[in-house]
Amino acid sequence: MMFEPVTVGVMGTLCVFLLLFLGMPIAFCLMLVGFAGISYLASFDAALPVVASTVWETASDFNYTVIPLFILMGGFAGSSGITKDLYAASEKWLRRLPGGLAIATIGACGGFAAVSGSSVATAATMGTVALPEMKRYHYSDRLATGSVAAGGTLGFLIPPSIGFVVYGMLTEQSIGKLLVAGILPGLLLCFAFIAVVIIWVKLNPKIAQANLAPVSWAEKLRSLLGVWEPLALFILVMGGIYGGVFTPTEAGAVGATLLFAVALLKRSLTWPVLVEALIESSRISVMVLVLVAGANVFSYFLALSTIPVQVAGWAASLQVSPYVILTVIIVIYLFLGCFLDAISMMVLTMPVIYPIVQALHFDPIWFGVIAVLMMEAGLITPPMGLNIFTVAGVAPEVPMETIFRGVAPFLLAIFFVAIVITMEPRIALVLLELMTG
């Protein structure tokens, strides 16, 4: 008995979730089901070249070299001592605010995110610096770990961002435009996190009772000498992309080279650190590329099944506001964020979600910002939030439940920013308008 293509597509999708539940890595789930589906709908002889060519094209595409370069930037930034300098400067300028050390942590996370494409690297490096300091001043574990875990998610939104790179790869959108579009939303989210800390401490002063002594203006200004490297690097990298001087790949190469030079000049880059940075960059790059290759094979299968076209047509024909459908998409992402990491969630959903976005005539760059925001929420959503486990590794004495409770107010801030950007899309698009205008 032959099944209809749509039925095969639905069965294949269910098989993916079944295999995920059984513990198979998502990249292999997508590739195996995609291969089996193509074999059924077309032929075995047609499926083999699709898998081979997809893996080859993904691995050999020059544009994808931006991934290891952005990861290397984060590795070199951590080894060069930038993390400590960023935190020290933020702490001196922000310590007198309610929850000043937590705010300084978020500010330093934002600064580190500007030279690192990884949220996990941001949370891990800032956690080692900020958590002992907040513990010394008797900050509550909820506020301390929550601010580090949430601040770390800024690495997924503030460019250079691996989230935007993967979205661009899956949807064939300009990675440079996506990175530029993430600048203002990233700053907005950073300020929203700071507002959460201030409101939280005002409502419950016991969680941050430290009354830190004021710092002189001379000391504040001297502290800025320690942050000129990430500031100059961000301006150079993003300014080069914005002005059309660099492609994102070239910008990543420039940034990694300059941070490598800074680490050498500071004599902080040892041979073991260099090897570890290269291995980590290779590991993450291979993981992302295999995920994208699997997603592309699965997308080819779904295209044969006609599910994306039919779902997009059905969504466009509904007599409801497009924003109602957008809300449903966001709810789906929140649900998936409980079980999948951010990049896996993106590669699994984009083959179906993106055609709906196109049918509803949403701007694909704007939707990329919304999608990355939702991926960001997934990083701190129980029970599988990757940043939660990262912070738990840095602070093993803090119960996991405490960290999850600590990030809850920051999750609300992410939703708030997503609503604001939905109501005012120009927050994400205005820099692009200036760039092209």
Q: Give which of 167, 191, 161 is closest to 179, Cα–Cα.
A: 161
| Entry pTM | 0.87
Residue 312 pLDDT grade (very low, low, confident, very high; cuts 50, 70, 90): confident
- Taking a C-beta distance cutoff of 8 angstroms, is the pair 154, 109 a contact? yes
Q: What is the mean pLDDT of the chain?
A: 85
CA–CA distance, 320 with 323 (Å, rounded to integer):
8
Residues 393-426 pLDDT 10s: 888 888 988 999 999 999 999 999 999 999 999 9
**pLDDT at 363 (0 to 100):** 94
Q: Residues in the chain, how many?
A: 437
**pLDDT at 210 (0 to 100):** 66
Token readout for 171 is: 């949807």
**pLDDT at 437 (0 to 100):** 60
| Per-range mean pLDDT, top range of 38-42, 156-160, 242-246 | 38-42
- Taking a C-beta distance cutoff of 8 angstroms, is the pair 347, 166 a contact? yes
- Cα separations in angstroms, 222 against 83, 218, 228, 426: 16, 6, 11, 37
- Cα separations in angstroms, 259 against 226, 232, 240: 14, 11, 16
Specify the residue for token string 């300098």. Answer: 85
Residue 433 pLDDT grade (very low, low, confident, very high; cuts 50, 70, 90): confident
Domain map of the chain by residue range?
61-269+306-436
Residues 153-171: b if buried by 16+ CB within 10 A, e if exposed: bbbbbbbbbbbbbbbbbbb
- Cα separations in angstroms, 319 against 89, 170, 312, 330, 361: 53, 29, 14, 19, 15
Token readout for 309 is: 């076209």
Res. 128: pLDDT tops 60? yes
Q: Give which of 383, 395, 385 is closest to 139, Cα–Cα.
A: 395
Res. 1: pLDDT tops 60? no
Residues 9-28 pLDDT 10s: 889 889 988 998 888 888 88
**pLDDT at 187 (0 to 100):** 93
